[in-house]
Structures are given as structure tokens and as C-alpha cells.
Amino acid sequence: MKLMDEKSSDSMDDIFDRYLDADANIFANREVLSPHHVPEILPHRGEKFEELAKILAPSLKGGTPSNIFIYGSTGTGKTAVTKQVLSKLKATADSRNLSFEYSYMNCQHVDTKYRVLTQLCEDVGINVPFTGLHFDIIYQKFKDALDELHTLHVTVLDEVDMLYKKSTESLYILTRMNSDLDFSKISIIGITNDVNFKETLDPRIRSSLSEEEIVFSPYTAEQLRDILTQRAKVAFHKDVLDFGVINLCSAIGAQQHGDARRSLDLLRVAAELVERNGEEKITELHVRKAQQVIERNTVIEVLTSLPIQTKVVLQAIYLGEGKNDEITTGDVYEIYNKICKLIRLDQLTARRVGDLINELDMLGIVSAQVISKGRYGRSKRIHLTVSSKQVRNVLDSDFRLSKIFEVEEL
């Protein structure tokens, strides 16, 4: 059997040819715009680099640096600067035969005391089986291994607010560990973009974690322009960028809490749109389109990662809205119960579902306004604040929920 007729096979070749030609036209080096690329020099962060390096420098002479708390809004270079300072410090220590170790962990993933200690063990070269060992044994293994190294160990806890939320105990354990160590020392760098985090910390952890503080302020539009220019010079061929593109990406990033990640994403997505369309120049119009694409993707990411119970509540709201102009918490709960029965999911209480609706409200997915409901007491009027098409797409992609749309009586 012939899979394709001559004509469509030709047009397939065209697509690839056009793609390859376009690639040659737009990108000279695509990699430098990828979210994982970190340039050797970080413009406008020299001062922060120095601040952090000075606090950590005593570790090269056998001292124990203070614990450090780093905060600032998203995309301000906290992770990039910290990683760079530590890798330079390690290289210096190695080149002079000095002892220095560090671990970097992102607490979005490393979020239990087992995971933290297992990762620390791995970083000093001991393998721990993933399950089965008592926590005290893993702790002892790490302590012994570290003591044997006679070293200073810096533990970076990036997104430390996540660890504190899920396992406060981990932070207690780490901040107290020096009293257990005999020949080595540990110091901690906690990083967060949650401005309120410090206030929520237990006072004992707070004073220990924030012996030194470094604040990363948002980038201004001018600073973002320099950051983008540095990348654009390497990323693009000559004359590909229209006048104003970098300024626009920087201005949007500056409005969004001085976020370098957002500005870089805009530039990359705009360039990819141009490439995909086989066009030759990146213009401000492409940046605007890129902005829409990115905002749409963020909503989809949030929706996709919701837990199943919350997704069912969302589906109940979606279905309710499809039938009535105005729906209340009571209506949502009724449909929610029907869906739970159909997919054999535990039914939560009305109060708990009310909490989930509030969570969706906080995420900006629905709006829930209190209305008076006479003898039924207080109720809320609910409606979706994101595009219902996006909600439908995400629900459709969950196999448990997609079949609900075929049920007539809902």
C-alpha cells in the first residue's frame, strides 16, 4: 500500500527544506536561547556574584561561612548566579587541592527528609537504596561520610519554601547538623521567590537560615535589554531582528516583575514563530503573538498539573456553565457528586469542595463571589475566568474525565 501520493510526499519534502533553509536564515546558534543555557557572564549581576562569593570565600581557608538566605522575584538570576559562584569556588578549591564540597537541590522535587539526605549521600559518593532504610541510618551514613572528608559542605536548597511547606523537619535537621559533625561543617543557602516566605518561617529556623541575606531586585527594562542583546548577538544571524524587538521584549519582562526568563522566552518564541512561517525578520508583531502563546501555555500548565479531585471540581464548573448562565457552589457540588460516582472517585464533603473552589479562585482559574442565598445561607456564584476551550482541552486529555463528556444526563 502506498502511504502517500506523489503530491503530498513532495509537499512534505518542501516542509523540511523550508525548515532547514529558514533555520539557516534566522538562528546562528539556537542553543543560547534555550531555557537551560546559562551564559558565562551574567550582565548586571556582577555585584550579587561578588556579594555571594565574599560570604563563601572563608570556606577556602577552613572557615565555616554563615548560612545565606537569597530572595527576589522570579527570573532575577538567583539560581544562575548561585550555581555559577559555587562551581567557580569548587574549581578554585580543586585547582589548589583544597577541600570543598557542595550539593545543589531543587526542593520542588527534593521535598522530604529522605530525599534530601539521599541526595546529600549521593553527592558525597555513597549510594543509598531508594527505600527500606530507616531515616536515622541514612543520616548517620551521610554524617560519617562527610566527617571522613574533613571538609566544608555547602547545601543549596533552591525553592526552599517548597521544602518548608512539605517537610519543615528537614530544615530543622539541616540547620542543626553542625552540632553532630566532628570533623566537617555544613552551611546552607536557601533560595526563594516567595516574598512572604521569611515571615512564615519558624523563628528558630529563620534566625539560623538568614544569618546573611542577599536580595535580588527585579531587572529594569534597560538591564533586560543588555541581557537580551548579549544573547541575540550569538543567537541570530545579522539583520534578522527588526528595530524595537529587543526593546519590546525587555519592556514586557520589566512589567512582569523584571523577569529575565520571560523576556528571553518572548524572544525565543517570537523567533520560532518567524522560522515556522518561513519568514525572514522578527518584528514586534511576532513578539505580541509570542506573548499570547506563552500566556496560553502557562494556563494549560497550571490546569494540567491540578490534582484529580480539583480537576473534577473544574469539570463540574465547566459542565454547569454550559447549561446555566449562573451557577452556585450548590450546583457545582451536585454535578461533582455525579462525576465522582461515574468514575468511582471518593466523594469529598461540600465543605472540602468549597475549599477546592477557593483554591481554583486563588489560581485565577475561576471567580467565586459570595452571594446571599436567603434561607439556604451563604453561597457563591462561580464562573470560569480562563477560556473554556482551554479547560475543555485539558479535561479531554485526562482519560478518566474525557468520557464524562459523553454522558447525556450531566
Ligand X SMILES: Nc1ncnc2c1ncn2[C@@H]1O[C@H](COP(=O)(O)OP(=O)(O)OP(=O)(O)O)[C@@H](O)[C@H]1O
Q: Is 78 or 380 the residue whose CB approaches ligand X more closely?
A: 78
Q: Per rule CB under 6 A, is residue 261 in the interface with ligand X?
A: yes
Phi, psi of 216 (to 5 degrees): -100, 110
Distance CA 404, CA 410 (A): 8
Question: What is the x/- site pattern for ligand X, positions 192-211, by CB under 6 A?
Answer: -x------------------
CB of 78 to Mg ion, least distance (A): 5
Q: Per rule CB under 6 A, is residue 115 in the interface with ligand X?
A: no
Residue 398 in grid coordinates: 485526562
Q: Per rule CB under 6 A, is residue 252 in the interface with ligand X?
A: no
Q: Per rule CB under 6 A, is residue 220 in the interface with ligand X?
A: no
CB of 187 to Mg ion, least distance (A): 19
**Residue 260 binding target from ligand X, Mg ion, none, CB below 5 to 8 Å by type:** ligand X
Q: Is 85 or 146 the residue whose CB approaches ligand X more closely?
A: 85
Q: Per rule CB under 6 A, is residue 258 in the interface with ligand X?
A: no
SS3 382: strand
Distance CA 369, CA 262 (A): 32
**How many residues bind to ligand X according to rule CB under 6 A?**
20
Residue 22 in grid coordinates: 529558514
Q: Is 258 or 320 the residue whose CB approaches ligand X more closely?
A: 258
CB of 253 to ligand X, least distance (A): 9
Edge-first strand order for the sheet with 366-372 is 327-328, 378-384, 366-372
Phi, psi of 380 (to 5 degrees): -125, 145
* Residue owning grid cell 512564615: 200
| Span near ligand X by CB under 6 A; candidates 73-81, 110-118, 149-157, 294-302 | 73-81
Distance CA 399, CA 122 (A): 37
**Residue 339 binding target from Mg ion, ligand X, none, CB below 5 to 8 Å by type:** none
**Residue 42 binding target from Mg ion, ligand X, none, CB below 5 to 8 Å by type:** ligand X
Question: What is the x/- site pattern for Mg ion, positions 53-92, by CB under 5 A?
Answer: --------------------------x-------------
CB of 247 to Mg ion, least distance (A): 26
Distance CA 168, CA 195 (A): 18
**DSSP state, residue 278:** T
139: Cβ–Cβ under 8 A, 6 or more apart, which residues? 117, 173
Distance CA 241, CA 262 (A): 18
Q: Is 152 or 269 the residue whose CB approaches ligand X more closely?
A: 269
Q: Per rule CB under 6 A, is residue 75 in the interface with ligand X?
A: yes
Asked whether the beta carbons of 248 and 209 are under 8 A apart, the reply is no
Q: Per rule CB under 6 A, is residue 42 in the interface with ligand X?
A: yes
Distance CA 247, CA 263 (A): 10
The H-or-E segment that residue 153 falls in is strand 152-158
SS3 358: helix
Q: Per rule CB under 6 A, is residue 44 in the interface with ligand X?
A: yes
Q: Is 34 or 393 the residue whose CB approaches Mg ion more closely?
A: 34
Q: Which residues bind Mg ion (CB under 5 A)?
A: 79
Q: Which residues bind ligand X (CB under 6 A)?
A: 35, 38-39, 42-45, 72, 74-80, 193, 227, 260-261, 264
